[in-house]
Amino acid sequence: MRRILIIDDEEDIREVAALSMETTAGWEILTASSGADGILLAANCNPLPDAILMDVMMPGMDGPTTFRKMQENPALVGIPVFLLTAKVQGVDQRRFAGMGFTAVLFKPFNPLTLAEQISEKLGWKD
């Protein structure tokens, strides 16, 4: 069973994304409401998450900063990270693409296809 960590400060986004992936793909979903909590949860998770879905705009530590902090932990470096954003401007897309994220997914997302989008980007066939 795939394990996905969702890091987003908006509870409704976490709930919709979690429910959609549990229902459509049968994945185990973990959630964190901040970048700091997400890093702790990911690092202490056994087994580690198979992928992380992270919001861009969060108070305290934003998504890109959280991602950079995760890259400092050797155990977390290989985990694919998807950035979830409402920012769709070209300059933002180029900036995010150059940071090493697996993919950028846009809000609002379609709950019925979210797991499919993640699976497709990662080449998961199950």
Given the DSSP bridges, would you call strands 81-85 and 3-7 parallel, antiparallel or unpaired?
unpaired
96-125 pLDDT, tens digit per residue, is 777 888 988 988 899 999 999 999 999 998
CATH of the domain at 94: 3.40.50.2300
Domain that holds residue 73: 3-122
Task: Give me the pLDDT at residue 81, please.
Answer: 96
Specify the number of domains making up the chain: 1
> At 3, which helix (H) or strand (E)?
strand 3-7
Catalogue the E-assigned strands of 21-117.
Answer: 28-32, 51-55, 81-85, 103-106
Task: Give me the pLDDT at residue 6, please.
Answer: 98
Name the residue among 121, 86, 89 with its Cα closest to residue 106.
86
58-87 pLDDT, tens digit per residue, is 999 999 999 999 999 999 999 999 999 886
